[in-house]
Amino acid sequence: MSAHVNCLSVILFLCSLKAILVGTPQNNTVDLSGIPLTLKDLDRIISYLQHSSEHIDNVELCFTELTDEMFLQLLPILSALPHLTTLSLNGNRLTKAILRDLTETLKDPKKFSSVTWIDLGNNVDIFSLPQPFLVSLKKRCPKQGNLPTILEFGEGQMSDLESQEDLCSADEDRNQPDKINNADTRRLLTERTIEVGTLTNKCDSEQEAACQTAQT
């Protein structure tokens, strides 16, 4: 019974994929979210993206079991879409290894020329985005108020962030005595300067008073 159910599910997925990859994308969006993809499906997807490139603003590949290998095959095609503004890749099997290729691609202004948002949340170990990645996106849309963020935290992310905070706190504690000593030194020097100035003015005043008394 379970074998028949699995076969039926595969048939339904294939039918869904085939139905989506026909004609002009609805609302200029290619939405394959929730459809498990394999390497065999990529040829059909790549062909459709190439033929419909002028009509694609958004590509959603959320929860499609996309792997690094599969994404790297799609990367040249996705980056060449002239009107692509958002790329959703969350909920897949992607690792931080793809960030290097993706960042290098973004450094070329001719690639992903219209992209303002790339969602990489809820993947295997992508917990932060490289600064060059964010800067490249910001250059494409200077008026964009929000940069891409990882909204969904992996189990290890919170501990990583806590470790970073602990390290920062430790560094601040180590550096704090020097700052305090420097501040104290400056304060003492200032107080002594004021004190010397006050004494000098006091002596001058006393000498002037003595001179006036002698003259009278």
Structure tokens at 11: 């048939």
Domain match, 22 and 71 both: yes
Q: Which contiguous run of DSSP H or E holds residue 215?
A: helix 155-215
Q: What angle do CA 99, 105, 109 make, to 5 degrees?
A: 135
**Structural domain span for residue 192:** 158-216
| pLDDT (tens digit per residue) in 60-70 | 999 999 999 99
| pLDDT (tens digit per residue) in 82-110 | 999 999 999 999 999 999 999 999 999 99
Nearest alpha carbon to residue 55 among 93, 81, 90: 81
| pLDDT (tens digit per residue) in 29-55 | 999 999 999 999 999 999 999 999 999
Domain match, 171 and 200 both: yes
Domain match, 80 and 45 both: yes
Domain match, 89 and 124 both: yes
User: 3-class SS at 199?
Assistant: helix
Our count of domains for the chain comes to 2
Q: Supply the pLDDT for residue 163.
A: 47
Place of tokens 């929860």: 63
> pTM score > 0.75 for this model?
no
CA distances from 203 to 116, 163, 207, 209, 216 (A): 72, 60, 6, 10, 20
Domain match, 98 and 41 both: yes
CATH of the domain at 103: 3.80.10.10
Domain match, 91 and 30 both: yes
Domain match, 204 and 99 both: no
Domain match, 49 and 94 both: yes
Domain boundary among the residues 102, 134, 152 is at 152
Place of tokens 């490139």: 53
Q: Supply the pLDDT for residue 140.
A: 86
